[in-house]
Amino acid sequence: NEKRGNLDIKEGPKGGSEISDVMAPEREHYRWTVCAVIVLLIALCAAHMTDRPASSHPHHKTSVLKMDEASLSVINEIEDDMMLYVLSDHCFQCLPQLLGIIPARPASGTPATVGFVVDTQHALTLQLNSTSAHLEPCKVHFHFGEQGNYSLWVKNLNEPSLVSCSMITDSEPINSYLPILFAFLVFAFLAALSAIWNTVKRLDVVTNLLLCLGSTVETERLINSELGTPNRLVDASMESIIPATTGRRLRSLDTFRGLSLVIMVFVNYGGGRYWFFRHESWNGLTVADLVFPWFVFIMGTSVGLSLSSSLRRGVKRTHLLWRIFWRSLQLFLIGVIIINPNYCNGPLSWDSLRIPGVLQRLGFTYLVVAVLDLGVVRDRLNNLSSETCWYSVHDVCLYWPAWVFVIALETVWLCWTFLLPVPGCPTGYLGPGGIGDFGQYQNCTGGAAGYIDRWLLRDNHIYQTPSSRAVYQTMMPFDPEGVLGTINSILMAFLGLQAGKVLQHYRDQHRQIITRFLIWGFILGIISAVLTKCSRNDGFIPVNKNLWSLSYVTTLSCFAFVALVFFYYLVDVKKWWSGAPFFYPGMNSILVYVGHEVFEEYFPFRWKMANSQSHAEHLAQNLVATSIWVIIAYLLYRRKIFWKI
């Protein structure tokens, strides 16, 4: 009765990255998820009530302000025209931008007033310059609150050449972060209820009561679904080579993948329109910048496990090679279709067809890493004696040809990035262009990475609105999934592959596995600290998601190893957590990703909001849409439907 499709990159050829051999509680989890959506809507509607100012004055209208905006009135009491410049703290080495001109006071005792709308996402530096040279400029550093009303008074001091600037809050801003707090409390409350119920239902008194109240067969299935005889999703011949001591299959990888996927869906849907749920403008990290590399990392781990499992079952390498190429091609084609939205209106238009994308990068990365591992992996793994001198590093030494290839590939990235001449740009430039670097390199966005994409793919076939456009006002197209960054994506997947080798070579040795993961995390963390100088913008190679810089890969790989320790210990070693609800989307990752992209604009994933300038309503919509995909993944899991390639 098993229904199975043929689409999911988490598995290698005819294998799987360790799915559970026990079914999670079905009815309880289903009810828990539905209740989560209902209670979440109620809580977020209540949180929407907080989107009002604590106090207000009738001469200021906050209703005209949008999200992340505040009203600023500049009141000029001096006899010179003043020019107002603004500079965001988030814009590194940027030129201040002219916001407007405030005329001189028309008469003594009658100031001139001009209103402006300012951004509230980051702190701003306001600078007032006189049109005449005899007045010193005035600077104010301030972080405005959303939909607040402020007045900036400009006055002369005792000395005619000195100007005083003072900021006054006319009406308090709203607390736009309360919806996040409400949402967190709702989910924490439901998680606590679920944990309490799972504990209580195992008590003998509760078990006997349920047996008396309901059908014996059905109740036993509910009670023992986590504890009784396992119901395997695949037959014994499909099992991977990572046995746990209890016979239970490794769930932590799918749980980690599922968490990354859930966050990815949430931020792709908008993340409540909060800046930290969007991709960083250039250097640095936000929540949105974490998930794609983690997905790549887990893909590499799954490749190592599944290829070894297939070889142990006697599958020929030529057959595996064909499957690898076919899967990579499928991923690439699916990626091209879903990122070009005119596929619903007929044939794709080549004139504006974007070629790079998330699935395209996953497909090519999978191709390289899987072929590389297939060339060096052994058909059988013999446990080596701990007395050998190289036992502590044999999971690396056995695959030294693959390491040589990856190091050579990374050398190519370094050479192209820092030595390739880019017309009109300094060699080795890693900046955003635009108004960054004091406006000297406006058309140099991304340096060599952007130049290679524009030369190879042409401007019309890469991403037109990069995240740097909002802050740095860049005008050049730049693709965050471009050609040069794919090299470091391969490195990320290869480090994930190394995690898979640790699981293979130290199977059943939980302490050894955790220790190895922590050592890898520590080494990669040290490399990141050296490359970045523990700073956002001043390092040799800053952390940059748009470029997929080397420090970005080492930093996110460090986080991935530490996170994998957390999931592995809780889910597979101690079994304190089943991995729900993240385990379910982790089992159907490609289906959820493709589905959320295709149906993004359709109900119930999106609807017309009463107030489109409310963080609370956007957050409610995005959380509900994400929760629906978790429910869909759970229902498919119950019916044993997995979409794979």
Average pLDDT, the chain: 82
Condensed to tens digits (0 to 9), the pLDDT of residues 579-610 reads: 889 999 999 999 999 999 988 888 889 888 88
Instruction: Name the residue among 122, 266, 285 with its Cα closest to residue 183.
Output: 266
Q: Which domains does the chain have, with CATH numbers?
A: 69-174 (2.60.40), 251-639 (no CATH)
Look at residue 131 in the predicted model and tell me its pLDDT: 81
Assess contact for 557 and 297: CB atoms under 8 A.
yes
Look at residue 47 in the predicted model and tell me its pLDDT: 44
Instruction: Name the residue among 86, 142, 92 with its Cα closest to residue 536.
Output: 92
Residue 189 vs residue 201, higher pLDDT: 189
Take residue 182 and report the two structure tokens written for it.
Answer: 């409400």
Encoded amino acid at 108, one letter: S
Distance from C-alpha of 308 to C-alpha of 304, rounded to nearest angstrom: 6
Phi–psi pair at 377, nearest 5 degrees: -70, 150
What angle, rounded to 10 degrees, do the helices at 483-505 and 291-312 form? 50
How does residue 380 score in pLDDT terms, banded at 50, 70 and 90? low
Encoded amino acid at 431, one letter: G
Take residue 222 and report the two structure tokens written for it.
Answer: 């509910």
Percent of the chain as helix, strand, coil, to the nearest 5: 50, 10, 40
Residue 180 has pLDDT above 90, yes or no: yes
Catalytic position from the list 60, 279, 505, 615: 279
Assess contact for 68 and 120: CB atoms under 8 A.
yes
Flag the least confident range among 236-250, 312-326, 437-451, 468-482.
236-250
DSSP symbol at 236 = G
Condensed to tens digits (0 to 9), the pLDDT of residues 257-273 reads: 999 999 999 999 999 99
Encoded amino acid at 331, one letter: L
Question: What's the pTM?
Answer: 0.83
How does residue 5 score in pLDDT terms, banded at 50, 70 and 90? very low
Q: How many residues does the chain have?
A: 645
Condensed to tens digits (0 to 9), the pLDDT of residues 76-130 reads: 888 888 899 999 999 999 989 999 999 988 877 788 899 999 999 999 999 988 8
Look at residue 104 in the predicted model and tell me its pLDDT: 87
Residue 237 has pLDDT above 60, yes or no: no
Distance from C-alpha of 111 to C-alpha of 155, rounded to nearest angstrom: 10
Distance from C-alpha of 454 to C-alpha of 511, rounded to nearest angstrom: 49
Q: What angle do CA 473, 478, 482 make, to 5 degrees?
A: 155
Look at residue 220 in the predicted model and tell me its pLDDT: 42
Assess contact for 127 and 145: CB atoms under 8 A.
no
Condensed to tens digits (0 to 9), the pLDDT of residues 48-69 reads: 444 443 333 333 444 478 889 9
Look at residue 249 in the predicted model and tell me its pLDDT: 59
- In the annotation, is 122 catalytic? no
Assess contact for 301 and 368: CB atoms under 8 A.
no
Distance from C-alpha of 62 to C-alpha of 236, rounded to nearest angstrom: 64
Residue 491 has pLDDT above 60, yes or no: yes
Flag the least confident range among 22-36, 418-432, 451-465.
22-36
Look at residue 18 in the predicted model and tell me its pLDDT: 37
How does residue 7 score in pLDDT terms, banded at 50, 70 and 90? very low
Assess contact for 484 and 416: CB atoms under 8 A.
yes
Residue 422 vs residue 35, higher pLDDT: 422
Look at residue 256 in the predicted model and tell me its pLDDT: 95
Flag the least confident range among 58-62, 229-233, 371-375, 490-494.
229-233
Phi–psi pair at 356, nearest 5 degrees: -70, 160
> In 10 A of CB 61, how many CB atoms?
11
